[in-house]
Structures are given as structure tokens and as C-alpha cells.
Amino acid sequence: MARLLVDANIRGNVLELLRDAGHDVLSIYEAARGLTDEEVLELAVRESRILVTLDKTDFGALIFQGQSPHPPAVILFRMRGITLTDTPEFITRSISTRDNWEGCFWVIDGRSVRSRPFPG
């Protein structure tokens, strides 16, 4: 199971389901609200956790344009076509279907899964 750092924009049932699925979840919402995106990224690197977020642009820009250190992986969920009631199960199922996320920035939506290797 994965070591996850879940951004503050993901909470509630999603956290519960991820933990129930056996993932080691550290939630920004529960433990460290108010961190900047740079601080969230630094925490993911320091804790060696996969960053899970709904934040569309900031983390990609920090990693690919700003040359910030990167965590093992970033998984960005874009919830196009996914209803609010289906969101917790969709995120949990998506993360649980793969064993190796490392080395890439992932974008997952209701239609596709895309990845881009980290620089360097």
C-alpha cells in the first residue's frame, strides 16, 4: 500500500476510504492546514510520500518550471465527469489499482490516466 500525503482540498470520506484500503495517509487538512504549496511539496519530499491533490496547476509548475525537488510521485485528480457522490470511491479505486506510482506527475480524470516523468 502507498504512503500518501493528501492535500487539504481532499478530506472526509476520501481519507476514510484510503485508510480503510490500507494506505498510510497523512492529511494536510487534518495535520497541517495553512501550508503553502511549496511547504506541502517539501513535506512530501521529506516524508517520502506520494502527493495526492485536486490543485490543478501549482504543483506541476513548481516541479517542472521552478525545478523544485519532487516527491516520489504527484497524483492530480481532475474530477470532470465524476459526481460528488462518486468522488471518494473514484479516488480510492484509482490509487489502489496501481502498485508503482513513482517518478511521475500523474493526471487522472474520468476518461484517462496520463503521466509525465519528473525532470532530471
pLDDT band for 113, please (50, 70, 90 cuts). Answer: very high
d(CA 35, CA 104): 23
DSSP E strands in 1-112: the ranges are 3-6, 24-27, 50-53, 74-77, 104-108
pLDDT of residue 81: 74
Widest distance between CA atoms in the chain: 39
Full residue range of the structural domain in which residue 93 is found: 3-117
Total of domains in the chain = 1
Per-residue pLDDT at 106 exceeds 90: yes
Per-residue confidence (pLDDT) for residue 46, from 0 to 100 = 98
Q: pLDDT tens-digit profile of 22-59?
A: 999 999 999 999 999 999 999 999 999 999 999 876 89
What's residue 34's pLDDT?
93
Whether 18 has a pLDDT exceeding 90, the answer reads yes
Q: CA-based angle 26:99:36, to the nearest 5?
A: 30
Predicted confidence at residue 66, as pLDDT, reads 77
What digits encode the pLDDT tens for the residues 64-104? 997 788 999 999 999 877 787 889 999 999 999 998 999 99
| Cα–Cα dist 26/84, whole Å | 22
Distance (Å, rounded) from C-alpha 91 to C-alpha 52?
9
CATH classification of the domain holding 10: 3.40.50
Say what the pTM is: 0.94
Per-residue pLDDT, 85: 84
Q: What span, in angstroms and rounded, lies between the C-alpha atoms of 45 and 50?
A: 8
